[in-house]
Amino acid sequence: MMQKAVFPGQYIQGIGLVQRLAEFAGSFGKRALLLASPRIIKSLKQAQFSFFETIVPEAFGGECSRLELKRISEIIASKRIDVIIGMGGGKAIDTAKITADWADIPVIVVPTIASTDAPCSGCAVCYSPQGVFEEVLFQKRNPALVLVDLQIIAEAPVRFLVSGMGDALATWFEARSVNATKSYNECGGLSTLAGRAIARICYDTLLEYGMLAKIANLQHIVSPAFANIVEANILLSGIGFESCGIASAHAIHNGLTRLPETHAFYHGEKVAFGVLAGLHLTGASSQEIEEVYSFCEEIGLPLTFAELGITNPQPERLMAVATASCEPASSIHKEAGIITAEMVYQALLMADALGRARRGQSI
Ligand SMILES: [Zn+2]
């Protein structure tokens, strides 16, 4: 038996931190490379941050592919970079994490949106140059520093924050399931008390501050509630999923991606629907179902197939989702008992039916 939890080296959250990037990078090395989209680099230059005297900017090619990873690795070697900063929404961050791991140098992650719990983790997703999923790569260490500038996150569209809450919503339920069946987490061990406590406080924070944070984000206000939700989405959910594990919600998310119409929806929006279906799948109490549906309703996460773009939910299409969710290596098998595609199919129908009933639609 082995229990395991992993954490980023440092997590720093506050207002105006990006202006101090050179100072933070300086504690990890002398020659820093900033990998970000051309748009971000341009806006940083326009803001006339002095850090470009010491930090070398490199425009991210747009895809975390083997080709781009090779290109960045060559730059790291030729410029003798000793710390890499990945700034952006996801793929630039993942590229920075992987290339830093290969070069054995520290990585600083600067998320500009709070839409998923990936920034703190020690894994990253690799795609083909055309953007088709290829593989998940695991790093030897978690990021040395995750630097979250609340002002930048507050200026991003609110849908990102809401999606991040959808991703974070899964954390506690999946942690509970994985612990109940004593399955392994995402870092290769059983969960710890610390991991589970963090997953639980992630859920409690969402219920307590979700709505206030959404309103703050709509007005680009950095309030304490907003800061709490950013922390829940990035730090608490990040440690929670990696150190406690994933189960049905992410498996159902993966199944939903089989339907092309769901591709326009963000990871967290599909994961949130996976949570709803997961509650029905696992026989959650009516009180808990009420609590989670109310939360999703309040902050604007999808409750029905139609709200995920699935306007033609024919049985064979839903069965394809259910079957994909139950592949042999799927995290759905970390739920208690034997989970079949038929059970998932019924849970999907139930999640949508209750959603429609709550929306006052015919069922
Ligand atoms: Zn996720």
The environment of the single-atom ion ligand 1, i.e. residues with CB closer than 5 A, is: 167
Active site residues: 167, 250, 253, 267
| Beta carbons of 107 and 123 less than 8 angstroms apart | no
> Look-up: residue for tokens 């991040």?
164
* pLDDT value at residue 77: 97
Of the candidates 299, 154, 159, the residue with the CA atom closest to the CA atom of residue 226: 154
| Strand bridging mode 55-59 / 83-88 | unpaired
CA of 330 to the centre of ligand 1 (A): 14
Q: How far apart are CA 320 and CA 285, in angstroms?
A: 27
Label residue 15 by pLDDT band (50, 70, 90): very high
Q: What percent of the chain has pLDDT over 90?
A: 92
CATH number of 158-358: 1.20.1090.10
CA of 163 to the centre of ligand 1 (A): 10
> Look-up: residue for tokens 């599909």?
270
**Residue 131 pLDDT exceeds 80:** no
pTM above the 0.85 mark? Answer: yes
In the chain, where are the structural domains located?
Answer: 10-154, 158-358
**Position 99: which residue type?**
T
Q: Coil, strand or helix: which one is 141?
A: coil
| Beta carbons of 316 and 343 less than 8 angstroms apart | no
CA of 200 to the centre of ligand 1 (A): 16
CATH class, range 10-154: alpha beta
What order do you get walking across the sheet with 32-36 strand by strand?
Answer: 10-14, 145-149, 107-111, 83-88, 32-36, 55-59
CA of 89 to the centre of ligand 1 (A): 14
* pLDDT value at residue 287: 98
Helix (H) or strand (E) holding 51: none
Q: Where are the beta strands (DSSP E) in 89-149?
A: 107-111, 123-127, 133-138, 145-149
CA of 352 to the centre of ligand 1 (A): 21
With the C-alpha atoms ordered 274, 276, 277, 279, is the resulting torsion angle positive or negative?
A: positive
pLDDT in tens, 350-363: 999 999 999 999 87
pLDDT in tens, 153-185: 999 999 999 999 999 999 999 999 999 999 999
Label residue 328 by pLDDT band (50, 70, 90): very high
CA of 121 to the centre of ligand 1 (A): 11
